[in-house]
Amino acid sequence: MDPSSGQLIVRPVSDFPSRPRLLARGLTRRCAWCGDRKAYFTGWFKRQERCHACGHAYRRGDEAFELGAITANIILTFGSLLLTVLVLVLLTAPDVPVLGVMLAAGAVGLFGPAIFYPVSFTLWQAVDLWMRRPTPAELSGEGDATL
């Protein structure tokens, strides 16, 4: 942020991260562009349009960005659900406590979407940057990607 004009300054990215690093940043709720820990979140469920540190927008010119983030959230939640059931069944076989497994799976299904909410956005941003590589203009901070 430029204190004199109040305008957000977009920091140029000179060392764009590799694809595995993009995913690692996305999975750990960091900005895929710069790796900032807060990324574009002001709270667990509140976000702003641009990253606190680098100023890059998460949408990148895509108005339907949230659909990808919701898809990432569904994949993360169902993956956790599958892992929970699989681990509990493997640990307790052959006498599987069906009610306990169902309660654990229900808890993951109920709280998983809220827990994965911010990660789903940063992960989708990383996947988006993986699939749609940034243009030189976007890397220099002069504009968002166009579709």
Q: Which residues bind to Zn ion, rule: CB under 5 A?
A: 31, 33-34, 36, 51, 53-54
Residue 99 CA to residue 107 CA, distance in Å, equals 12
- Cβ nearer to Zn ion, comparing 42 with 92: 42
Shortest distance (Å) from residue 53 CB to Zn ion: 5
Shortest distance (Å) from residue 35 CB to Zn ion: 7
- Cβ nearer to Zn ion, comparing 34 with 76: 34
Shortest distance (Å) from residue 130 CB to Zn ion: 16
* DSSP-derived 3-state class of residue 50: strand
Q: From 80, 74, 34, 40, select the one nearest 54 (Cα to Cα).
A: 34
Token pair, residue 112, equals 């998983």
Shortest distance (Å) from residue 77 CB to Zn ion: 25
Which residues, listed in sequence order, are joined to residue 4 by a DSSP beta bridge? none
For residue 141, is it left (φ>0), alpha (ψ between -120 and 50) or beta? left
- Cβ nearer to Zn ion, comparing 17 with 109: 17
Peptide bond into 12 cis (omega under 30): no
- Cβ nearer to Zn ion, comparing 23 with 53: 53
Asked if 146 contacts 61 with a C-beta cutoff of 8 angstroms, the reply is yes
